[in-house]
Structure 1
Amino acid sequence: MKLILTQQVSGLGEPGDVIEVRNGYGRNYLVPRGFAIRWTRGAEKEIDSIKKARSAREIATVEHAKEVADQLRGLRVTLRTRTGSGGRLFGAVTAADIATAVRAANGPDLDRRRIEIGNPIKTVGTHRVSVRLHSEVSAPLDITVAEA
């Protein structure tokens, strides 16, 4: 099945890339979740607009990505949220919450789709997430979750 990616998918490609995947993976996972659209001649014209939008918000060079990674390494990010008994959160910390907390800590402006949370963050404490800044550069980020 031939698809056009609308978002970055680890191991497949960047937005605007035309990829070939198995029918079930495309039909049951990529298309319903909005990660890709079916390739047609009409959709081929959308590739330019997807790539323009990507270049507007993307970190262009590896050097720039390494600079942002250095900023993230020295950053202390604290996220205050409501908790229940035993330090459990009401819900979980999302990538959008982390991006907002990084901005509040005078860090770089991050795209929430580039923040990878391994296990859901549902407890108070320090947690490590990964930020994909470039296809070659990924930076770890420590988040401290505290009671509000």
Structure 2
Amino acid sequence: MEVILKQDIKKLGEKDDVVTVKPGYGRNYLIPQGFAVLATPSAKKVLAENIRQAQFKQEKIKKDATQLANKLEGVKLTIGAKAGETGKIFGSVNSIQIAEALKKQGFDVDRRRITFEQDPKVLGEYVANLNLHKEVKVQVPFEVVAE
């Protein structure tokens, strides 16, 4: 019996895979639980169309991320923070502050996509890693200065 998986199932397959299973496993477990649908010719056509549309969307998202990465190449940020006499920051600079500084310069980047190589806890220069897409990453240098 052939079924189309609706989600990843360990030791069986990933979402949108067409797999062959024993009829009892398919009828009594996979289909009633909503983990799979019967692989009829019409369901296979719908699956092929859904995969094609998903690829088109992913290509568009990657293209947009690449364009944004090209624009971010020459950007350098300056972040103000309260610091003590030794140069140690009260608290630390976080991804929200980097996202706000990028927004002021006209770049809309989600704060959850920003990571640091080392946490900025003292005044100085650092690098923020922006994961715009799973294949598109860019590094933006920034400087932490005392307010």
TM-score range, shorter chain: 0.5 to 0.7
Structure 1: gaps (5+ residues):
1-16, 21-40, 43-57
Q: In 2, Cα distance between the equivalents of 1:108 and 1:19? A: 39
Gaps of 5+ in 2: 1-6, 11-32, 35-57
Q: Secondary structure at 1:69's aligned position in 2? A: helix
2:118, 2:126 within 8 Å by CA — same for their partners in 1?
no
Amino acid at match of 1:110: V
Q: Deviations over 1:54-113 (max 9, x none)?
A: xxxx99422211111112111121111101122110011111111011112x13111010
Alignment TM-score, normalising by the size of structure 1:
0.58
- Let me know the Cα RMSD of the aligned residues: 2.4
Taking structure 2 as the reference length, what is the TM-score of the superposition? Answer: 0.58
Identity %: 30
Determine which structure has more spread, i.e. the larger CA radius of gyration: 2
Secondary structure at the residue paired with 2:101?
helix
Q: Give the paired residue count.
A: 96
**Counterpart for residue 140 of structure 2:** 141
Residues 90 and 65 of structure 1: is their aligned pair in 2 closer, same or farther, counting only changes over 3 Å?
A: same
Correspondence list, 1:1-148, <5 A: 60-104=60-104, 106-148=105-147
| More strand as a share of residues | 1
Distance 1:66 1:85, change over 3 A: same
Give the whole-Å Cα distance in 2 for the aligned partners of 1:101 and 1:74.
15
Change (3 A) 1:59 1:69: farther
